[in-house]
Amino acid sequence: MFFIKPYRIVAWLLLCVSWSFTTAHAELPNSADRPFWTQKTCYRMDDIVFGVGLSIGQRSLEKARKESFRAALWEISNYAQIKDTTLLLVETQMTYEEQRPDGAYSVWRLVKTPLAQIIKAKELMAQNSADTQKHVTRIRKLEHENREGLADEIRRALLEGEDVNRTWSPPTPVDKTFPTGWIKSVKDTYRTDETIDLSIRANDNHALKTLVFSIKHSSIKKRWSINGNTFERRISFPAAVLSTGKQVYSITITDAAGNTALKQGVFRIIDLHDELYDILSGD
């Protein structure tokens, strides 16, 4: 008759407890899994200066996005040694977003601006002429009125030496709202004999362009071209095609205006049968 020795029963119970603990707490990507720029504050590539802003633990995704922009702008101003950032004209390159198990959001934002414009902004602020101050006041007023498009046009004219005192017509609205998206039905742990079944969703205030789903260091990659402001798709694949251990998945969503949002998550692949065999078949 086959008997399971007591210490093996204890080992089996410990395995179950450990497995339950893993599945009860979602795992987040670590710094090595995230895009390289999330580990920086400000850096320069050729004649472009990049700043990275971070907002952590916000309950509202929109608030986290706004806070990350302000933080990125501060990093640029710190690099440029400019106290007043009114004249800085920055463009968002990408956002990277994570949602913790408690529902709070963290957002990294990568912004960029030409070095030549930073130098010009410093010169104008140092001169502190009455004309410059007039335009600074006008830009602040436009921002308060949520007319950022016209404020940016005036900034650009100042920094590029164009006629700022001309009659300004309302600029063509520029979409600066980033798309949102998420993956549902993701479990924290999959066995190698399971099928991974995921639901991918995305939306935008105007129009989506593309969505890419991928898993790092694997053959799993899918790209969709999208017409419309909403997208939903289910995908399935066997867990056995992935190696055991941590898997980092991502969705990259781009809208028609070029705004790109990147989101990542983590799950694990385990071969539970092998672990049970080692426990139950040992002497």
Q: pLDDT tens for residues 9-63?
A: 444 444 443 333 333 345 778 888 899 999 999 999 999 999 999 999 999 999 9
Residue at a domain's end among 127, 152, 185? 127
Q: Are the C-beta atoms of residues 271 and 194 closer than 8 Å to each other?
A: no
Pair (19, 43) in one structural domain: no
Q: Which residues of 171-181 are buried (b: 16+ CB within 10 A; e: fewer)?
A: eeeeeeebbbb
Token reading at 210: 């593309």
Residue 28, C-beta contacts closer than 8 angstroms, at least 6 positions apart? 98, 100, 265, 266
Q: Which domain holds residue 97?
A: 36-127
Q: Is the pLDDT of residue 279 over 70?
A: no
Q: What is the pLDDT of residue 275?
A: 56
> Within 13 Å of residue 104, how many CA atoms lie on the same side as its CB?
6
Pair (101, 197) in one structural domain: no
Domain count across the chain: 2
Question: Where do we find the tokens 């709202």?
Answer: 177
Pair (12, 96) in one structural domain: no
Compute the distance between CA of residue 51 and CA of residue 74 in angstroms, rounded to an integer.
8
For residue 262, give the nearest of 111, 62, 107, 112 by alpha carbon: 107
Q: How many CB atoms lie within 10 A of CB 155?
A: 23
Statement: the pTM of the whole predicted model exceeds 0.85? no
Q: Is residue 20 part of a domain?
A: yes
| CATH at 262 | 2.60.40.2550
* pLDDT tens-digit readout, 181-214: 989 889 999 999 999 999 999 999 999 999 999 9
* pLDDT tens-digit readout, 107-150: 999 999 999 999 999 998 888 888 888 888 988 998 888 888 88
Pair (122, 182) in one structural domain: no
Q: Is residue 143 part of a domain?
A: no
| CATH at 71 | 3.10.28
Residue at a domain's end among 127, 151, 169? 127
Q: What is the pLDDT of residue 117?
A: 92
Residue 58 CA from chain centroid, whole number: 14
Token reading at 153: 């046009």
Pair (108, 57) in one structural domain: yes
Q: Is residue 10 part of a domain?
A: yes
Q: What is the pLDDT of residue 131?
A: 86
Q: Is residue 268 part of a domain?
A: yes
Pair (189, 121) in one structural domain: no
- For residue 268, the SS3 value is strand
Pair (183, 274) in one structural domain: yes
Pair (118, 187) in one structural domain: no
Residue at a domain's end among 106, 127, 148? 127
Q: Is the pLDDT of residue 163 over 90?
A: no
Pair (200, 104) in one structural domain: no
Q: Is residue 144 part of a domain?
A: no
Q: Is residue 215 part of a domain?
A: yes
Between 163 and 260, the higher pLDDT residue: 260
Pair (22, 51) in one structural domain: no
Q: Count of residues for the chain? A: 283
Compute the distance between CA of residue 214 and CA of residue 155 in angstroms, rounded to an integer.
39
DSSP 199: E
Token reading at 200: 């991918």
Average pLDDT taken over every residue of the chain: 85
Token reading at 147: 């007319």
